[in-house]
Amino acid sequence: MSIELKTKYGQIDISNDVIATVAGGAAIDCYGIVGMASRKQIKDGISELLRKENFARGIVVRQENDEVHIDMYIIVSYGTKISEVAHNVQSKVKYTLDQTVGLAVSSVNIYVQGVRVTNP
């Protein structure tokens, strides 16, 4: 599946994996994020943190009626305010996708899959 963008020069097809990788990279840069989690925890293992090349397993990109929706499964750091971390991730992902890909995202849904204690 891919997202289709129509410009005055022609059509651009962007793979969902590319969008997921850009969104995951933006999310990892946010304060309070330990990593991305798999959306299929039973199959992939509950405690697994996804690496950069596997961000697509923790992010779902959907296109409905010319709107793009992103579902992100994250693991946050212990001691951070989860609502603030989620809001920061939403803002950063929307901004990054708009600036790098030119894609206007309608919604970024955050699913917190766990809390981890990180080393100081």
H helix or E strand, kind and range, residue 87: helix 82-100
Task: Indicate whether 70 pLDDT > 90.
Answer: yes
pLDDT band of 44, cuts 50, 70, 90: very low
The predicted model gives 66-91 an average pLDDT of 92
Domain span including residue 56: 2-116
Question: Which CATH number is 74's domain given?
Answer: 3.30.70.1350
Scan for tokens 């022609």, then name that residue: 10
H helix or E strand, kind and range, residue 50: strand 49-50
Distance between CA atoms of residues 119 and 11, nearest Å:
47
Task: Indicate whether 95 pLDDT > 90.
Answer: yes
Q: pTM for this one? A: 0.81
Domains identified in the chain, total number: 1
